Structure 1
Amino acid sequence: MKAIAAIREADSATTRLVQLDVPAPAPGERDVLVQVKAVAANPVDYKVRDGMVPGDQRILGWDATGIVHSVGDKVHGFKPGDRVWYAGNIERDGAYAAFQAVDERIVGHMPSSLGFEEAAALPLASITAWEILFDRFRTHLTSPSRQKSILIVRGAGGVGSTMVQLAARVANLKVIATASRPESAQWVYGLGAHHVIDPRADWREQLSAVDVHSVDYVASLTASGEHVARSADILSPQGAFSLTDDPARFDIGVFKRKSISIHWELMFTRSLYETSDLHEQGRLLHRVAQLVDEGVLKSTANGPARSLDAGTLEAAHQELRAGTAIGKRVFSVSLG
């Protein structure tokens, strides 16, 4: 089969993307073998590339939709012909290929109301946002006596675009998102944000202007080390802070006085360690599909789908590195 792989040559300091002919994967007993139809680009792609050593070769891509081609002997929830979506396991080959083998426990049936390209924007972001809101912050267990609030840092990004919707429409939170450009602000308002603030200006001053004097949660999706102190300042006592990135410095001490809980979210943790609740990722993808079909959530694909090749993928990775992407870039897959 054909695949697009990142390769770091033995004498090179950087990686390059190339199309290769590689053997099709053989599904394990709990795997579904998926004919990939569409994929989305994510920061994890370039982060994996950055961690490659000389001589490495990796098939990237952990956001995909497709059709089940065959199933392993112990698979019961899927059959050939099913339309599915998933993020996959970062330790296995990714979705930038004609076929991919994925553990059925982290796979869901696609929303019936979306095509492959629109749906490909949602799996990884939905799992990340869901786990932050419901597994880490446990917003579903909070008292209904008042509406709680969340600040989502970089609300217009891939994860942020899904989190804004889940927070406002499922968790019933007052949603404040950061956005630094008019087009980003317009995007997050369209997804359900109640207020938007500029991340470069004074946070407390901007929140006070919209009668928000503290927030219960901060979901930091970028540059977390740069705004730790500001987050601690605006968080309510006994609030919660989450981050998904890898800041070089992170001063945890600023949260102590308010007893702020801190959560580091990696949506691959369950699959990396094959946790006893691994199946929860498949279940939440089924639930997200229902919410899409009910009209509660919508795709965060931004712009028409491009054809997947090394050039279009490289351009998407550069856009992600620059931090200028709004929503998700998606690609149709027609590799032989």
Structure 2
Amino acid sequence: MMPAVAVTEAFPVTDPRCLTDVVTDVPTPGPRDLLVEVAAVSVNPIDTKMRRRAAAAVAAGEQPVLGYDAAGTVVAVGSGVVGFAVGDTVFYAGSQLRPGTNARFHAVDERIVGRAPSSIPVVDAASLPLTALTAWEALFERLGIGLDSGVASGAQNPASLLVVGGAGGVPSIMIQLARALTGLTVIATAGREESREWVTRMGAHHVLDHKKELAGQVAALQKPVADGGTGVPPVRYVFTSQSGGRSGDLAALMAPASHLCLTDDPESFELGAFKRKSISVHWESMFTKVIFGDGDAGDATVDPASQGRILDRIADLVDAGRIVPTTGETLVGMNAESLVAAHRDLEAGHVTGKIVVRV
């Protein structure tokens, strides 16, 4: 048996009973699974969303264990595992199809696991997987930006990337990846002075006021230097996890035939705003490959193992000093009290970087 944190009743985040300490069975690894002793997890907006959606499972008598990001040590391997051994330090983002990482031990498919960076503490490694995978896939698979070149297929260079809400978890990694692996000018938005300092440290060339209309600020940047601007290239790529109510503003600042990538589920978003400029709109979900990459119903082009390879590349970039972990706050104790505090902070907004919970 092992300790874990689960949803046992449907309570709002303001109620400390929204997550509960439980005792459950240690998972038995399948043929391609690693059994990981979890050292740290980080908490993402998807965790809070899944907690709110757990009411039906709880009503059916289930006690869902949440959590995705994890870093820890392999303590057992399945009979078909080829890439890892007991004792390896790993990091990964898990799956929506299996129990979560908010537990002492966790079983995970080896294909979506990477070797943790050797140059940083395991706590910081836990801040990286989900956000790094999302940022990587959004940049290089959805937006079509050329890896290691800055050249996008069919696009005219130079170009700018706008990252909306730059101090968040995914944007913090995206800014760094764009600086390390592309030639794009990176523009980020921030609403507080703390956030402005953070995105500048992540590598943004320019920072816009997140609370104000963005199109006018971009236009001011694009003015020639002689006219008081900076002459930044056209915005051909935009990433946002905060798209609600921004359709017109984003369409106005984007270049014709450009690309927009979303990760959120906006209640107010007008796709028609992008038609006049022939702007392509993409959605990125990091779990698509895990959900649809296997079996007859899966798309053969969706390869779960690519996520393990991406994480290995991320680890190499960290160890080379080209990107840094994005830990913003560390909580101690893998228990309901710590995780409730993390959920509460995330739902309140204004979180800079990632919240990590260590054992």
* 2:237 counterpart letter in structure 1: Y
Contact 2:134 2:170 in 1 (8 A): yes
Q: Could you list the runs of 5+ residues in structure 1 that have no partner in the other structure? A: none
- Deviation of residue 167 (structure 1)? 1.2
1:48-105 deviations in whole A, cap 9, x for unaligned? Answer: 0111124242111100101011111111000000000000101211111011000111
Structure 2 CA distance for aligned equivalents of residues 21 and 109 of structure 1:
29
Q: Give 1:20's match in structure 2, choosing from 19, 22, 40.
A: 22
1:199-229 deviations in whole A, cap 9, x for unaligned? Answer: 221212212332247411110112x121111
- Deviation of residue 249 (structure 1)? 3.0
Judge which range, 74-83 or 196-205, deviates more: 196-205
User: What corresponds to 2:160 in structure 1?
Assistant: 149
- Deviation of residue 313 (structure 1)? 1.1
Q: Give 2:115's match in structure 1, choosing from 109, 113, 120.
A: 109
Contact 1:90 1:268 in 2 (8 A): yes
Verify: 1:274 aligned to 2:275, yes or no: no
User: What corresponds to 1:232 in structure 2?
Assistant: 251
Structure 2 CA distance for aligned equivalents of residues 204 and 145 of structure 1:
21
Contact 1:306 1:331 in 2 (8 A): yes
User: What corresponds to 1:195 in structure 2?
Assistant: 206
Contact 2:262 2:284 in 1 (8 A): yes
Pairing of 1:76-155 with structure 2 (within 5 A): 76-140=82-146, 142=152, 146-155=157-166
User: What corresponds to 1:215 in structure 2?
Assistant: 235
Structure 2 CA distance for aligned equivalents of residues 302 and 259 of structure 1:
38
Moved over 4 A (4+): 12-15
Contact 1:204 1:213 in 2 (8 A): no
Structure 2 CA distance for aligned equivalents of residues 99 and 31 of structure 1:
12
Structure 2 CA distance for aligned equivalents of residues 78 and 171 of structure 1:
31
CA RMSD between the two structures:
1.7
> Which secondary structure does the structure 1 equivalent of 2:258 belong to?
strand
Contact 2:160 2:235 in 1 (8 A): yes
User: What corresponds to 2:228 in structure 1?
Assistant: none
User: What corresponds to 1:51 in structure 2?
Assistant: 53
Pairing of 1:62-81 with structure 2 (within 5 A): 62-81=68-87
> Which secondary structure does the structure 2 equivalent of 1:57 belong to?
coil
User: What corresponds to 2:358 in structure 1?
Assistant: 332
- Deviation of residue 155 (structure 1)? 0.6
Judge which range, 250-259 or 278-287, deviates more: 250-259
Number of matched pairs: 330
Structure 2 CA distance for aligned equivalents of residues 134 and 21 of structure 1:
41
TM-score under structure 1 normalisation? 0.94
- Deviation of residue 307 (structure 1)? 2.4
Structure 1 CA distance for aligned equivalents of residues 113 and 70 of structure 2:
10
Structure 1 CA distance for aligned equivalents of residues 50 and 208 of structure 2:
31
- Deviation of residue 114 (structure 1)? 1.1
> Which secondary structure does the structure 2 equivalent of 1:225 belong to?
coil
Structure 1 CA distance for aligned equivalents of residues 176 and 287 of structure 2:
22
Structure 2 CA distance for aligned equivalents of residues 71 and 214 of structure 1:
50
Q: Could you list the runs of 5+ residues in structure 2 that have no partner in the other structure? A: 223-231, 295-299
User: What corresponds to 2:4 in structure 1?
Assistant: 3
Contact 2:241 2:264 in 1 (8 A): yes
Structure 1 CA distance for aligned equivalents of residues 244 and 156 of structure 2:
33
